[in-house]
Structure 1
């Protein structure tokens, strides 16, 4: 297909950190009559998928992945700036939830929405909840778009949602962090709607706003959320213990040790999220991914299992956490024959 050829050449350009070549390719496509949404959806984003796979497969390091992603984000931002908003445009504020650093997917969505005539204010990665609330209070947009790429950030997303109650007509969330079809957003019973892409966002904006009022704050916190906070408070201890369990691996070269520390940190954060949601699925799915990534870097799954068992022992007074860890260990166990 034609798109595959464009993806390949664009991927080569960003892989070589050749900003000029990548920009020329996009300009050529525009001059050839291809629409902005087609270029973003069929060329830039698929190329970024290849970037992610290159890092996962350990063929690219973090620096190269960041360089390539930075080029794509720059190009998408420039494309967005060329779009004209309609006179009756709705004002949308787009932000990644606090601690969520992956901003390119939201940047792409914002650019596509600008292309549809909307007025977009893009706040970028990891917007602190207090700052987001203050900004939304000042500008009172028609909708706030929240992006969450990792399930580990769902508790942060929920803090943002609670902080925004009553300040905007609609809150729309997106990103794989909210689970398949945005399932974790359903916890808010209609206050929040999930969208897969810019087209769905546009469709939602055409619907009447949620009829029910926002629930008042101050309701009792579920036990699972309180348990999650207890685990979060022990994050440093769990991370230190996990690195100790990995033994010689954790004392390898600095870059490898940093990968291990970051990976275990994300694993603790995802455990917190799974307990917060009272559902092991988020933790099980993330651990499947981590096993694949770790195995390509020479880390056996059995050693990750040892870390999980050690954490389970440390969390004896937290049955919900042990249930989540048990589900992950069971998922990793070979099927009986």
Structure 2
């Protein structure tokens, strides 16, 4: 793999980022791919293009959506173009033969559709000499385990962007480790400091693709240290609150919707489309509350509400509309002590806590 880059004055990555952003914002796939090909021809190494150009541009896509400066359609189009630009690098010049460093499986947790971070990692590992089995988005644990038995991979790199995927991630981590395969995790779901990776017993956590590649190289050939996990590794789940909230999701959403008609006069005038969107928003609230119960971290739910408040404000929706919804949810869950506590603590979320990505933000 070539590690040379042209001097900044000749081909600054910042200029390439700007040009790529303009292209993806316009939906111009031809220009986007041409920019990357030209950069490679000029001597910019592929890893730098992946991690210092494409990944930041994708991050900006999520930020602009959250600020309501681009539409959902623009976000989807930009993400699709970035994914195809990664494909240009996959078949570009200078890609070394794979397999010298070992074999690794890269996959997204079941239910996780945000595949671009995992794909970028897969390409970085390929460039660094790994034989990579990239399985893509939402891979069921059973399918992943069958793949590991068939291929004998040296490690699994598991990606998740949303904290609501943590229960599925936990099951997948445990299943992979039962085969003796070490699991490296990454993505926004695991926290900016990897706290949920440690909670769920992953062998390692990496904040970005470069760190992931270094960790995999340093531990190549090592079997999982946690072949057998204790069955009570999350003893707080014994109260069954997480399970009961998940099973009651449809009822909770229906109850909150009905209560809003009584307590939030504006809700009575909602169109059918607005009511459907409101139901989706309430469902997200229940999902993140469940995730906070699974991790026993009220801060997770508080950070989600902080992020949600920002999204609503950017779209001109009064943030106080959340209050009656949370009140009703609290009444429905009054017999659930931990859930009630998490709802109360969310009323004053920590100001410096990181917020989760948008549901379709693929940057991690």
Match of 2:209 in 1: 198
Q: How far did residue 220 of structure 1 move?
A: 7.9
1:233 aligned onto 2:251: no
| TM-score, structure 2 as length reference | 0.84
Alpha-carbon RMSD across the aligned residues, in angstroms, is 2.4
Residue by residue, what CA displacement relative to the aligned partner does 1:189-215 show, whole Å, maximum 9, x if unpaired? 5x5210112222222223343674422
Contact 2:299 2:349 in 1 (8 A): no
Match of 1:56 in 2: 66
Match of 2:178 in 1: 166
1:98 maps to which of 110, 127, 140: 110
- Alpha-carbon spacing, 1:251–1:147, altered in 2? closer, same or farther (3 Å): farther
| Aligned positions of 1:115-264 closer than 5 A | 115-189=127-201, 191-208=202-219, 209=222, 212-216=225-229, 218-219=231-232, 222-224=235-237, 226-247=240-261, 248-249=266-267, 252=270, 256-264=274-282
| Aligned positions of 1:25-36 closer than 5 A | 25-36=35-46
Residue by residue, what CA displacement relative to the aligned partner does 1:131-174 show, whole Å, maximum 9, x if unpaired? 22222222221111111111111111101112222324310000
Local SS of the residue matching 2:52? helix
Q: How far did residue 79 of structure 1 move?
A: 1.4
Contact 1:136 1:168 in 2 (8 A): no
| TM-score, structure 1 as length reference | 0.90
Residue by residue, what CA displacement relative to the aligned partner does 1:47-98 show, whole Å, maximum 9, x if unpaired? 1122112211223222221111011012113313443334523111111111
Local SS of the residue matching 2:305? helix
Contact 1:224 1:320 in 2 (8 A): no
- Alpha-carbon spacing, 1:74–1:261, altered in 2? closer, same or farther (3 Å): farther
Larger CA deviation: 125-134 vs 308-317: 125-134
| Aligned positions of 1:270-309 closer than 5 A | 270-309=288-327
Whole-angstrom distance in 2 between the partners of 1:113 and 1:192: 18
Whole-angstrom distance in 1 between the partners of 2:44 and 2:125: 17
- Alpha-carbon spacing, 1:255–1:312, altered in 2? closer, same or farther (3 Å): same
Match of 1:68 in 2: 78
| Aligned positions of 1:12-23 closer than 5 A | 12-23=22-33
Whole-angstrom distance in 2 between the partners of 1:263 and 1:114: 39
Aligned residues: 332
Local SS of the residue matching 1:69? helix
Whole-angstrom distance in 1 between the partners of 2:125 and 2:113: 21
Structure 2 residue ranges without an equivalent (≥5) = 1-7, 352-364
Structure 1 residue ranges without an equivalent (≥5) = none
Whole-angstrom distance in 2 between the partners of 1:250 and 1:161: 45
Structure 1 stretches of 4+ with a deviation exceeding 6 A read none
- Alpha-carbon spacing, 1:158–1:134, altered in 2? closer, same or farther (3 Å): same
Contact 2:177 2:224 in 1 (8 A): no
Local SS of the residue matching 1:149? coil
Which protein is richer in helix relative to its size? 1
Residue by residue, what CA displacement relative to the aligned partner does 1:31-61 show, whole Å, maximum 9, x if unpaired? 1111111112222122112211221122322
Whole-angstrom distance in 2 between the partners of 1:195 and 1:103: 17
Whole-angstrom distance in 2 between the partners of 1:211 and 1:115: 25
Local SS of the residue matching 1:11? helix
